[in-house]
Structure 1
Amino acid sequence: MKSTELGVLRKSEVYFSSPSQTAKKLYYYPVSAGHFFCVKGYHLIRNNYNSLLITHIIDGTFTFVKDGKHTTARAGDTVILDCYKPHEYYTNDSFESIWIHISGANSFDLFQEIEKNEGNLVKCRDINHVKKLLFRIYEGISGDNPPTELNMSLDIYKLFAELLNPQSIKCKGESNYEDNIQEIKSYISENLNESITVQKLADKAHMSTSHFSRVFKQQTGFSPYDYVLITRLNKAKYFLQKTEMTVAAIAYETGFNSESNFICFFTENEGISPGKFRNLKF
Structure 2
Amino acid sequence: FSTNSVLEGKSFQTPVIQVTQPLQSLLTELVENETPHIFCTKALIYLAFSQLLQIGRLISVNSPLDDTFRKAVLYIMEHYKENLTLKRVSTAVGVTPVHLSRMFGQKTDFCFTELVNIVRLQEACYLLQNSTLSVSNIAFEAGFGSIRNFNRIFEKFFHSTPKQFRVGEFSSG
Give TM-score scaled by structure 2 length: 0.56
Q: 1:198 aligns with which of 82, 86, 90?
A: 86
Aligned to 1:249: 137
Question: Does 1 or 2 have the higher relative contact order (CA < 8 Å, sep 6+)?
Answer: 2
Deviation at 1:268, TM superposition (A): 3.0
Q: 2:112 aligns with which of 219, 224, 230?
A: 224
Query: Does 1:260 pair with 2:148?
Result: yes
Report the AA paired with residue 125 of structure 2.
K
- Would you say the 8 A contact 1:232–1:254 is kept in 2? yes
Query: Does 1:178 pair with 2:58?
Result: no
Aligned to 1:215: 103
Computing the radius of gyration from Cα coordinates, the structure with the larger value is: 1
Rounded Cα–Cα distance in structure 1 between residues aligned with 2:113 and 2:149: 16
Segments of structure 2 that go 5 or more residues without pairing to the other structure are 1-61
Alignment of 1:71-220 (within 5 A): 175-220=63-108
Segments of structure 1 that go 5 or more residues without pairing to the other structure are 1-173
Give TM-score scaled by structure 1 length: 0.36
Following TM superposition, the consecutive aligned residue runs of length 4 or more in structure 1 with deviations greater than 3 angstroms are none
Rounded Cα–Cα distance in structure 2 between residues aligned with 1:180 and 1:244: 38
The structure where strand makes up a greater share of residues is: 1
- Would you say the 8 A contact 1:192–1:253 is kept in 2? no
Give CA deviations for 1:11-31 in whole Å, capped at 9, x if unaligned. xxxxxxxxxxxxxxxxxxxxx
Deviation at 1:245, TM superposition (A): 2.0
Rounded Cα–Cα distance in structure 2 between residues aligned with 1:248 and 1:257: 11
Deviation at 1:179, TM superposition (A): 2.1
Number of corresponding residues: 109
CA RMSD in angstroms comes to 2.1
Rounded Cα–Cα distance in structure 2 between residues aligned with 1:276 and 1:206: 41
Query: Does 1:235 pair with 2:130?
Result: no
Rounded Cα–Cα distance in structure 2 between residues aligned with 1:190 and 1:205: 13
The structure where helix makes up a greater share of residues is: 2
